Copies of this chain bind each other. A is one copy, B any other.
Amino acid sequence: MTKNIKKDKDRVVDLTLPENFLHMRQDILRFADMDRNGHLNNVKFFEFCQESRVALFRAVGAHDGESGRAWMIAALSITFLGQVQAPGIVETGTLVLKFGNTSLQLGQGMFNNGHCAATAEMTMVRVDQETGKPFPIEPVLRDRLKMLGGHG
Contact = CB atoms under 8 A, between A and B. Distances in A.
A148 B31 CA distance: 20
A58 B34 CA distance: 15
Interface stretch (A47-55, A108-116, A134-142): A47-55
Contacts of A77: 1-2, 75-78
Contact of A36 (B38, B43, B79): B38
Interface residues of A, number: 41
Copies in the complex: 4
A42 interface: yes
B47 A2 contact: no
Main secondary structure of the interface of A (DSSP, over half): mixed
A87 interface: yes
Interface of A: 1-3, 5, 26-28, 30-32, 34-38, 41-43, 46-47, 50-51, 54-55, 58, 64-65, 70, 72-80, 87, 105, 121, 123
